[in-house]
Every structure is written in structure tokens, then in C-alpha cells.
Structure 1
Amino acid sequence: MSISSVTVKVPGTTANLGPGFDCIGAALTIYNQFQFTSQDESKLTIQATGAEAQRVQTDESNLVYQAFVKLYQYIDQPVPGVKIEIDLGVPLARGLGSSATAIVGGLVGANRLAGEPLSQAQVTDLAIAMEGHPDNVVPALLGGCRLAATSVAGWEICDIPWHSNIIPVVAIPDFELSTSEARRVLPTEYIRADAIFNTAHLGLLLRGLQTGKGEWLKAALQDKLHQPYRQALIPGYDAVNAAAIASGAYGMVISGAGPTLLALADVSQAQAVEAAMASAWEEVGITAQVRSLALDTQGAT
């Protein structure tokens, strides 16, 4: 049965979680919503509402539309006219996977309007190809916390258990940091000791997330591949980190490429961590929206 309209809700994400650089990410209870409605011939209409809606591109350069087109090209069908209505709940360029929501939303919406010719695995592969790495698009599509690794056959996606007592607290500042800038500061080569360090800490992170064991999480959130180089791009990083730890957080990491900072805390400490992170940034003259979220387990719906 053909349909003429579909609404897709996609969670924002946090990627890396410290040592899981470019391979691990988690879906959070913060969302963008995309409505796709068929219209005549090749006509394109894009409308946006919500915070920062005025910054959304409303022509063919829009990333949601690019993903929509990509799916039709993949299935070798003409791209239909479409009206896309975007309701933004995930801040732009803040390290919470806004581009991943656009890619996933466009692909899932197109697949649905086309009669679902592609499997979830095929949509996942297309999303990773468009984004360039799996850490944001995979949890945005599938939900939960996910680890992605390449195999001979393509990608292997592994669900990571997340203990219900672990609360992600996000501190979203009122400034942006582009992913390209955050990648530019990274070295092109790493020493063996740093690679071993991250391998060990990623293994410990997976067990810490599963068990909720605080001492494991406190050690596991350390990283030597990306965070030491990116911290200088985020004003007040050291102060916010110290405040989060002092108020009871297991640790704090850069969410994705930043500048959003993510603390993991026990449910009993989350409110105190929220207040401390907001206060620390305020003391250095930066306004931040600080929120306790939860793990989204549904993904794109």
C-alpha cells in the first residue's frame, strides 16, 4: 500500500564516550522530527520550526533532502516532489548528532514513501556512507548504545548494555564548534602507548556501562586519542570538568566533536551534577543549557 505522508522522529546522539573515538555512540532522549509529504512532480518545499530554524537550508543543499535523494538514487527510482517539515529539538553544531538525525530522517522517510524497498541493514549502510563514520548515525537509527566495527562483509553493529542507574547529563553551551575544526586539531599518527591506553579503557567502559560500577566508569572515561587535543577549543572545559567530578559525576567527556560536554552520573547525583556544570560555565561567562537525559532505546520511529 502506497502512502503519501510519513513523520519520522530521530533521537540526537552522543558519540565517542571518551575512549570510543569514532566507533561508539548512544541515542539520547532529545529529538528532531521530520514530516515528508508527497507533492507534484519534482517540486521541493522545506519548512523548519523550533530553535535555530532560521538557519536551516530550504533548498536542495538541505542535508535531509540530500539523504532523501540518495535513497531514491540507490533504488534507481525518480525522486518525487516532496514537502519536508522539520521540527528542531537537537541543537545545531553542538556535538549532539544533528547531522546524523538529518541523514537518518531523510533516508527513513524516503524508504517509507518508496514502500520500504530497503532493509534496516541497507539503510544503515547508506547512512554510514553519507556520514563517513558510524558513531552517530547508527544509534540515531537503531537506538540504544552501539558499537560499530568493520568486517569482511561490511559493518558489524553491537548493542552495548547500559545500566539504568547511569544518567547522561549534557551541558550545551551557547557557542558552536564545527566538526571539521575539531578534526583539524587531531594528529595524523599516534604512539603505540596511546593506542593501548584507549583499547584498555574502551574495554573497561563497556563493562562499566553494563554493570554501573562507578570505579570502572571513573577510570574508563579517560582518552588519549581526541580529547586532549580538543579541550583547548572549548572555553571553560577544565572548570566544568572539575565541577562535574566534585559534584559526584563518574567523569566528563566531550560529546562528539563538542562543544557540548557530557557527564555520566549515578541517578542520585545527576541533579547536583547538572547544577555544578551550569554554574561552572556561568562563572567563566558562558551560558549553557544543562539537562539530565536518558538513553533512547527506540531509535528512528
Structure 2
Amino acid sequence: MSVVSGVTVTVPATTANLGPGFDCIGAALTLYNEFKFIRLEESGMIIHVTGVEAERVQTDESNLLYQAFLKLYQYIEQTPPSVKMEIRLGVPLARGLGSSATAIVGGLVGANQLAGAPLSQSQVMELAIAMEGHPDNVVPALLGGCRLAATSDTGWEICEVPWYGDIVPVVAIPDFELSTSKARRVLPTEVSRADAIFNTAHLGLLLRGLETGKGEWLRTALQDKLHQPYRKALIPGYDAVNIAAVAAGAYGMVISGAGPTLLALADTTQSQAVEMAMLTAWQEAGITANVRSLSLDTQGASSFHEG
């Protein structure tokens, strides 16, 4: 078997939860991080980062991409090669768009390719979920599309969720951060039976709404009682942006992942108006935001190698 000298892995951003699908559903978006792995003849590890917020990424052994790279080699019980990693960032950090998931998936896929692909995609996925702790971001980052994940007796069952072609995800990314750990600390440890039933019903309706594009279903389905009522207080201007998005024609608005990015779903004919409304609402609250319409990424992590 020929030795692979270099691998480039591209991984999409993700939006998790989509309202009622807390910790179990996520979708890949057309925003990307790129990771290049180059074997070094001399011993050592080098990390070079470019792109948005590059100066904030750790370049020592604590780097999450490198940790994932090592994890795969530990799993296959091989000594990891010396490597140079070039990171090109397109996904903003700590904004609820799965930046950590891109690093985990990128590191595992890159290591697997350099090692000659000893692991299947499902094995890589299991490692990614174990590292992240939940499947909602890493699964669509690896596989693409919108995915629902459920535990089974033997591991995970992954279901592709059909996404109606005219549904546009509009992301409003503010210029402040919200850590996942902080967003989790505000959540209650127990919920009422009524709230559990509410979310079960709304997740079922969400799946049908995404498949059919039926606006009445989506407007109801995006509601949630497990995490968003508690987290929205951590996001200044949330209510104003929500009101503006819906008034401009969005089916509804949710917190993307742990936030603070806000995600609206809109029809293709309304997406530009929704963009402008969300941007203006946050500007009026004194917050600068990058608002853009994206598409569903259907490919997931992709790689090509040299040698």
C-alpha cells in the first residue's frame, strides 16, 4: 500500500437542535473549514492557522484538531506520524455553528486517510460522537444533510431527514461569543412531563415540515420548551430579532446549537427580506452581526490526498 503524504479535508459548519430536536438533530450548512495534513520527515508537530479569528486558535498539542488526529491513531493502535496541519477557518468560533465538530471530524478523517483508511465511515462517526459527547453536530458534519441520531442497543441509528428544496437557512452571527458550557449551565436538570410531550410532538411535526415545506407546520414545529426558553436570556436582542424575522416572512427562528447565532428558516422568496430584518433588529440593539442565507450541504466531510 502506498504511503499517503498529504491529505486535505473540508468539513461543513452545522446547526444543531433546530428548535425541538435538542441534542439529536442537526444540519450541515454551506460554510466550511479546511484542514490540510502533511507528513513531516523530521519529528514534531506544526500547526498553522489562517482565516477568520485565526489568532485565537491554539497551536500546541491542546489543539482539538490534533487531539482528534491522535485519537484515531490511538484507536487503531499505531504511532501517529509527525505532521504539519494547515487550518483555514471559515466557520466562526464559539458561535453555535459547530466549529469544534469540524475540528473533531477533520482530525479523525485526516488521520484515517493518512493511515490508509483502516476505519469505515461509521467507525469514524462513532469516534466523533464519543469525542463530542453528543451526535447533533458531528454527524451532519461528517455525513452532510440533515440528520437525526438515536441510540440503539449496539450504538447509534442515524436517519437522514428529507429537506424541502425551497427552505432556506438564514444565519445571523453576532460579534460576541457564547460558550457551550455556559449555555448548558442554564438548563434545568429535570423537565415536566408536559414539556417532554410538547417537544416530542413538535419534533415529529418538524420532521414532516422539513420534508414537505409546509409553512403552517414549520411555524408551529420550531417551538421548543427544553432549552431555548432558558438560553435566550444569554443572547441580547433575541426577542427583537425573532419578532423581526417572523414579521419579514420567516417560518420561525431558533438558536443555532448553543448560540449565540440565530437561525431562521424561510422560503426562497422571503430569505433576503428575513436577512435584512434580522440584521436591522440587531443593529438597533447595538450589536454587529453577519447575516447570510446559506444552503443545506449534502456532501459532508470530503477529502483528497497526495501520494
TM range (shorter): over 0.9
Distance in 1, Cα, partners of 2:172 & 2:153: 39
1:4 equivalent in structure 2: 5
Match of 2:172 in 1: 171
**Equivalence for 1:50:** 51
Other structure's SS at 1:83 match = strand
Matches within 5 A, 1:82-101: 82-101=83-102
Residues 134-170 of structure 1: CA deviation (Å, up to 9, x unaligned): 0000000000000000000100000000000000000
Question: For residue 231 of structure 2, what is the amino acid of its counterpart?
Answer: R
Partner of 2:305: none
Secondary structure of the 2:147 match is: strand
Superimposed CA distance per residue, residues 3-60 of structure 1 (whole angstroms, 9 cap, x where no aligned partner): 1101000000000000000000000000000000000354100000001000111110
1:216 is matched with which residue? Answer: 217
Structure 1 stretches of 4+ with a deviation exceeding 4 A read: none
Counterpart amino acid of 1:192?
A: R
Q: Determine the structure 2 residue equivalent to 1:126.
A: 127
Alignment match, 1:20: 21
The answer (yes or no) to whether the contact 1:23–1:134 under 8 Å persists in 2 is yes
Identity between Structure 1 and Structure 2 (%)? 79
**Equivalent residue, structure 1, for 2:241:** 240
Tell me the residue number matched to 1:182: 183
Count of paired positions: 301
Task: Find the counterpart in structure 2 of residue 138 from structure 1.
Answer: 139
Aligned to 2:118: 117
Q: CA–CA distance in 1 between the matches of 2:9 and 2:232?
A: 34
Equivalents in 2 of 1:200, 1:169: separation in Å?
24
Q: TM-score if structure 2 supplies the norm length?
A: 0.98
Q: Which residue of 2 aligns with 1:29?
A: 30
Q: Deviations over 1:235-268 (max 9, x none)?
A: 0000000000000000000000000000000000
The aligned residue for residue 161 of structure 1 is: 162
Q: SS in structure 1 opposite 2:79? A: coil
Cross-structure match for 2:297: 296
**Cα pair 1:12 1:90 within 8 Å, conserved:** yes
The structural deviation recorded for 1:208 is: 0.1
Secondary structure class of the residue paired with 1:198:
helix
**Consecutive unaligned residues in structure 2, runs of 5 or more:** 303-307
SS in 2 for 1:150: strand
> Matched residues in 1 for 2:114 and 2:4: separation?
6
- Given that 1:42 and 1:79 are in contact with CA atoms closer than 8 Å, whether structure 2 keeps it comes out as no
Equivalent residues of 1:254, 1:260 under 8 A apart: yes
- Runs of 5+ unmatched residues, structure 1: none
Q: Distance in 1 between matches of 2:18 and 2:220?
A: 12
- Residue 79 of structure 1 deviates from its aligned partner by 1.1
